[in-house]
Amino acid sequence: MQGKPFLGVISGFFFGLFGGVALFLFGVIPLDSHLLWILPILGIVFGLFMATLAPFGSSTSPTAETTAGVTYASAGDADSSATLTEEPATDPDPGEEPPTPSNT
């Protein structure tokens, strides 16, 4: 079983519990409704289901991601230091003047 089922059960319980409390406080369901007992149980089942599907613990992605010329090093790198390196921008031809904005 992958994921974190214990965390899913706890978070699902609290999600269902506070969802039921919110429905009661906003007057959607009365206090003697069985839905106040059913929602936390459904939250536990849903949280367990979601936790078994989600691969929270496994990582198949590379350790460094490159986006638009900027490399972000992740915490899993060998030197354990967070670095941000930016590749130098290419300068225009030195003989050309930079374009001037025109307000027309």
> pLDDT at residue 23 above 90?
yes
Task: Answer yes or no: is 24 within a domain.
Answer: yes
Bridge partners of 53, per DSSP, are: none
Task: Answer yes or no: is 47 within a domain.
Answer: yes
Task: Answer yes or no: is 23 within a domain.
Answer: yes
SS3 25: helix
- Residue 57 tokens read as 């613990």
Instruction: Tell me the pLDDT tens digit for each residue of 12-22.
Output: 999 999 999 99
Task: Answer yes or no: is 12 within a domain.
Answer: yes
> pLDDT at residue 90 above 80?
no
Domain tally, the chain: 1
Average pLDDT over residues 65-90: 57
The DSSP code for 29 is S
Q: With bands split at pLDDT 50, 70 and 90, how would you rate the model's confidence at 30?
A: very high
Structural domain that includes position 15: 5-53
Q: What is the CA radius of gyration of the chain?
A: 26
Count the neighbouring beta carbons within 10 Å of the beta carbon of residue 102.
5
Rounded Cα distance, 47 and 93, in Å: 59
Task: Answer yes or no: is 43 within a domain.
Answer: yes
Q: What is the pTM of this model?
A: 0.51
